[in-house]
Amino acid sequence: MCIRDREGDEKNSLNNFTSILEGRNLKIQIGNTVILDVPEIRIQAGEFLSVIGHNGAGKTTTIKMLCCLLKPTAGKAVVMGYDIEKEQLSVKQIINISPQETAVARNLTIMENLLLMGGVYGINKHETKTKAQELIELFGLSSRTKELAKKLSGGMQRRLNLAMALITNPQVLFLDEPTLGLDPQARKAVWIQIEKLKGQTTIFLTTNYLAEADVLADHVAIIQQGNIVAQGSPATLKESFSGKQTMMIKAQGITNNIINILREKYQDVRSSESEIIIQAKELDFESIVNFLHGEGAKIKWLSMKEPSLNDIFLKLTAEEKHR
């Protein structure tokens, strides 16, 4: 996935199809208000892109535009070479979406929901049934196949929703906040199902759960007020915008000599009588523990904290807000 500035290379025309999804200079404007402004987006086949942002940041608007549900004011985008404005039918035949709202027929069974969706898309009934059975097994719904959707838990309904979006074998799958409103256990169960799709289907996921993007995505784009403010792999973002590890230690026998030696090696060392907090780009966990033991300190508790996407997100959105 690549999102670039408008000042980037304009020679690579969208007519020269190189990626499964490409867009440039995409903008949605209502009156004088620009509600979405994406300079360039590109996703390769099989990649997993997560767009993260606060409610109202422009995540769902981006999906609606790329799914031909909302016309851009300016710019151009193609999916598998098909223009999202001029070739909408062709685009819709190769994509599918699992919306924020759980869209299942509550009085139909799991199998009936899947067969209905296949029928809507004009897929052969035998072919649909075979695919439906595969999806039921993939999403762990086998024991509830004949049960009405309304009797399923929220988490299982979300799994069914995902299965319904996959019944057409889409080239690109759009997931708009697929775990919104689920409890942590149900959310994790849905993550497991989504992770099984990685590498098989190109996935465009929006979320405001930072851990979701961290766990699942190959690439992340952070959106704020309709603008992409940062992008890259989760690891790259953490390194670029934070780059610090934190080690917290509670111990007996912390001396001034111990603190002074640590400060010679690490610039940011804070301490009290029984606690040390060390921050640095790279911390040698084992070396620090061995040093403390060698100096006679008795460690009661310690913790290592890596920079998280949440740290980066809060930093970037706070900076953007004050501009």
DSSP state for residue 57 in the 8-state scheme = S
Report pLDDT for 149. 95
DSSP reduced 3-state for 37: strand
Which residue is it, tokens 């780009």? 281
Report pLDDT for 5. 39
Report pLDDT for 311. 74
Report pLDDT for 14. 42
Report pLDDT for 317. 67
Q: Answer whether 283's CB lies under 8 Å from 247's CB.
A: yes
- pLDDT digits (tens), the chain, 323 positions: 444 433 333 333 444 545 899 999 999 999 889 999 998 888 989 999 999 988 888 999 999 999 999 999 999 999 999 999 999 999 999 999 999 888 899 999 999 999 999 999 899 999 999 999 999 999 999 999 989 999 999 999 999 999 999 999 999 999 999 998 888 888 888 999 899 898 889 999 999 888 899 889 999 999 988 888 888 888 888 777 666 778 899 999 999 999 999 999 988 898 887 899 998 878 888 999 999 999 999 999 998 877 778 777 877 766 555 45
What torsion do the CA atoms of 12, 96, 171, 215 make, to the nearest 10 degrees? 90
**What pairs with residue 220 in β-bridges?**
50, 232
How far apart are the C-alpha atoms of 273 and 309, rounded to whole Å?
Answer: 32
List strand residue ranges (DSSP E) for 177-272, in order: 202-207, 219-224, 227-232, 245-252, 268-271
Tokens of 43: 């996703």
Q: Comparing C-alpha atoms, which of 221, 207, 202 is closest to residue 95?
A: 202
Report pLDDT for 18. 59
The Cβ of residue 56 has, within 10 Å, a number of other Cβ atoms equal to 11
Ordered DSSP codes for 85-130:
TT-HHHHHHHEEEE-SS----TTSBHHHHHHHHHHHTT--HHHHHH
Report pLDDT for 133. 95
pTM of the model: 0.77
Report pLDDT for 323. 53
Query: Residue 120, CB half-sphere, CA atoms under 13 Å: how many?
Result: 13
**Helix 125-138, helix 110-120: angle, nearest 10:** 130
Q: Comparing C-alpha atoms, which of 107, 108, 217, 113 is closest to residue 166?
A: 113
